[in-house]
């Protein structure tokens, strides 16, 4: 399970070091794709395949095609280099506004990559009351 938060820098060529805590579970080769809310998703291959299977089993309609197009057309296989880095394709760097400082966020079955400023702005916009409301709506108690 992926959890925790780690900060790293992305270099001018678009390479970024994957946090050591995530490397073993991601494996040597994994998938990076467009995420939600302005981030990127990293999936280990088995989790990516489970996600693709879900997309394939959806009923064929306009919404399904849109989902498939958005996630699959932007998905790229990536491999760790000897320094534990991957190259984020330019299209994905642009989509997530990745400039210099990035934050990796563990999200159970995947990892999110955020531009640090974008994540901080989103976190500032959220408040504890909204979190409590969401927990109540999903019937989650601590």
- Reported as a pLDDT band with limits 50, 70 and 90, residue 134 is confident
Predicted pLDDT of residue 140: 84
**What does the alpha-carbon distance between residue 96 and residue 118 come to, in Å, rounded to a whole number?**
9
Q: Which domains does the chain have, with CATH numbers?
A: 5-137 (3.40.1550.20)
Q: Which has more pLDDT, 126 or 60?
A: 60
The answer to whether 10 touches 80, Cβ cutoff 8 Å, is: no
* 75-105: pLDDT as tens digits: 999 999 999 999 999 999 999 999 999 999 9
Question: From its phi and psi, is residue 25 left (phi > 0), alpha (psi between -120 and 50) or beta?
Answer: alpha
The answer to whether 20 touches 28, Cβ cutoff 8 Å, is: no
The stretch 50-77 carries a mean pLDDT of 94
């Amino acid at each position: 399970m992926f959890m925790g938060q780690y900060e790293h820098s992305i270099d001018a060529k678009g390479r970024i070091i994957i946090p050591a805590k995530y490397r073993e579970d991601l494996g040597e080769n994994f998938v990076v794709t467009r995420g939600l809310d302005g981030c990127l998703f990293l999936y280990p291959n088995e989790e990516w395949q489970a996600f693709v299977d879900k997309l394939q089993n959806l009923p064929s309609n306009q919404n399904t095609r849109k989902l498939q197009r958005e996630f699959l057309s932007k998905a790229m296989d990536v491999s760790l280099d000897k320094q534990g880095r991957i190259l984020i394709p330019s299209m994905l760097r642009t989509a997530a506004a990745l400039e210099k400082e990035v934050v990796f966020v563990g999200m159970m079955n995947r990892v999110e990559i955020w531009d640090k400023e974008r994540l901080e702005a989103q976190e500032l916009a959220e408040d504890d009351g909204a979190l409590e409301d969401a927990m109540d709506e999903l019937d989650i108690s601590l």
